[in-house]
Amino acid sequence: MDKELSSEQIQKFLQGISVPPQPQIMVDLQFEQVMPNPDLKAIARLISQDPGLSGALLKIVNSPYFGLVNKVGSIQRAVNLLGSRSVINMVNALSIRGEMSDETIVTLNRFWDTTQDVAMTCMTLAKRVGCELMDEAYTLGLFHNCGIPLMLKRFPNYMEVLEESYASAGPERRVVDTENRLLNTNHAVVGYFTAKSWNLPMHLCEAIANHHNALAVFSDDSRDAQLKNLLAILKMAEHICRSYQILGNQSEDHEWSSIEALVLDYVGLSEYDFENLRETIRDLGPT
């Protein structure tokens, strides 16, 4: 088994690192905040398109300061709890952290291009398959790969490693196994600790940690149904949005091929049903 970094090492790894917000989202938010009466719904909509901003927001709302009994996983609810002034202050604080280079922005576009598409597709799928976790499915879609920009900051060649990881994925090797072998950690583990630092609900953190461990999860009858429900939606969404192509630079989805039968059986869809659903969703959006 490949050696992974310990919890303490991961915490040190993440120290001082944050997921950078998309420049265009920041511009749109700056425009919104100078309006005489900032629109809270518009602000929430913009923030919900960006993992970095959403993570910072949820970290604040779920902090001990607010003393919430149950942690919040909904961006809209978090914005409502904080109010426009506090949210704008947070955005301003993030905007002065420094500019990214053009090269970094181009590389991160591959990450940003998938997050919103996968999040929206997760929500759509949750509706279509009768899952009640629509908000949480969206949040998982937005955050599941939040470890990628952090890995990229630590390892300049990370996207090359990620492409190799997708190329070698299959029944005998997970996407994260190649990362573990070459880097001693992986984006799912880093994403898990990032989500924990943002105070996301623990079951969402667990889903992030296991999002490239679906074969083992769906092969184990004892695994939690909530985890399986969220992972089933996420893996279908990743395939529909062609994450394997955008992030992995692959023409085929090797990971999906190894888990398709298990996932579709779990949600009660035939291959034909899923193909129709996939094409319908692709016709609706930019995926």
In this predicted structure, the answer to whether residue 2 has a pLDDT above a threshold of 60 is no
In this predicted structure, the answer to whether residue 53 has a pLDDT above a threshold of 70 is yes
Cα 77 to Cα 268: distance, rounded to the nearest angstrom: 32
| Dihedral pair phi/psi, residue 170, rounded to 5° | 170, -165
Cα 109 to Cα 99: distance, rounded to the nearest angstrom: 15
List, for residues 133-160, the tens digit of each pLDDT value.
788 899 999 999 999 988 988 888 999 9
Task: Judge whether 87 and 75 are in contact, CB under 8 Å.
Answer: no
Could you tell me the two tokens for 286?
């930019």
Q: Please state which of the ranges 75-89, 114-128, 161-175 shows the lowest mean pLDDT.
A: 75-89
List, for residues 256-266, the tens digit of each pLDDT value.
999 999 999 99
Question: Please, which residues have CB within 8 angstroms of residue 92's CB and are 6 or more apart in sequence?
Answer: 33
In this predicted structure, the answer to whether residue 251 has a pLDDT above a threshold of 90 is yes
Check residue 68 and give its pLDDT.
Answer: 79
Secondary structure in 3-state letters for the chain: CCCCCCHHHHHHHHCCCCCCCCHHHHHHHHHHHCCCCCCHHHHHHHHCCCHHHHHHHHHHHCCCCCCCCCCCCCHHHHHHHHCHHHHHHHHHHHHCCCCCCHHHHHHHHHHHHHHHHHHHHHHHHHHHCCCCCHHHHHHHHHHCCCHHHHHHHHCCCHHHHHHHHHHCCECCECHHHHHHHHHCCCHHHHHHHHHHHCCCCHHHHHHHHCCCCHHHHHCCCCCCHHHHHHHHHHHHHHHHCCHHHHCCCCCCCHHHHHHHHHHHHHHCCCHHHHHHHHHHHHHHCCC
Check residue 11 and give its pLDDT.
Answer: 54
Question: What residue ranges define each of the domains in the chain, with the CATH number in brackets?
Answer: 23-95 (no CATH), 102-284 (1.10.3210.10)
Could you tell me the two tokens for 220?
């184990």
In this predicted structure, the answer to whether residue 33 has a pLDDT above a threshold of 80 is no
Task: Judge whether 200 and 58 are in contact, CB under 8 Å.
Answer: yes
Cα 182 to Cα 287: distance, rounded to the nearest angstrom: 31
Split at pLDDT 50, 70, 90, the class of 1 is very low
Task: Judge whether 92 and 217 are in contact, CB under 8 Å.
Answer: no
| Dihedral pair phi/psi, residue 173, rounded to 5° | -145, 125
